[in-house]
Amino acid sequence: MPESLDQIARDVIQCRRCPRLVAYREAVARMRRRPFPDWDYWGRPVPGFGDPQARLLVVGLAPAAHGANRTGRMFTGDSSGDFLMAALYRAGFANQPTSIHREDGLVLQDVYLTAVVRCAPPGNRPSREELANCRPYLIRELQALPRIQVVVALGQIATEGLLAALRALGYDGPRPAFRHGGLYPLGAGWPVLITSYHPSRQNTQTGRLTPEMFDAIWALARQVLHE
């Protein structure tokens, strides 16, 4: 019987495997940022969250230093989370278009959000060792989400981290090339992979990723689920 997502979350929150990430996430939590002087920062690893019966898994890179590292919930409290949640709401995967804090009433429907790294990394650049240290948590989540049919990977690092986790579970197929809007059936017994640009400010404010482009990703996910 698969272990519970609650148990995985407890293990994630207690993790101190990566000294550099531990030091950074805790330093950010102490210093805070001017717009959030009264926030009691989370300052710990951030577990995945969403519908435990989800058929859609969304895999991101890592918590933002003043986003999920502040709020304690993945894709919550920063511009990337705002862009993602608005799109999920438009596609019918979320009950509201905003993700502000853990008690804001957000409910995800048929979708689970996670990341390949659970601590905020300096410069949003985790090392290979840090990615490897965190991978077992993603592997365990994949095992604990038996209904997953589609995975949307946000960005190239998330795509590569997801494929590494699937290989650890026995996937031995080809390695899909990353591109926005890529659609890759991985074969019998494995989910369909959809690749997308990450909704980072660097992508959304430059027009590399527009709301229309992002909406097309979730429409494609819906199409695959309906098939």
Tens of pLDDT, residues 4-52: 999 999 999 999 999 999 999 999 998 866 677 778 899 999 999 999 9
Residue 93's domain comprises 5-226
User: Using CB atoms within 10 A of its CB, is residue 28 exposed (0-12), middle (13-18) or buried (19+)?
Assistant: buried
The 10s digit of each residue's pLDDT in 181-194 is 999 999 999 999 99
Question: pTM of the predicted model, to two decimals?
Answer: 0.95
Helical axes 156-168 vs 128-144, angle rounded to 10°: 60
Return the CATH number at 101. 3.40.470.10
Mean pLDDT to the nearest integer, 117-123: 97
DSSP, collapsed to helix, strand or coil, labels residue 123 as: helix
- Number of folded domains in the chain? 1
Where are the alpha helices (H) located in 32-127, listed in sequence order? 68-71, 79-90
The 10s digit of each residue's pLDDT in 80-98 is 999 999 999 999 999 999 9
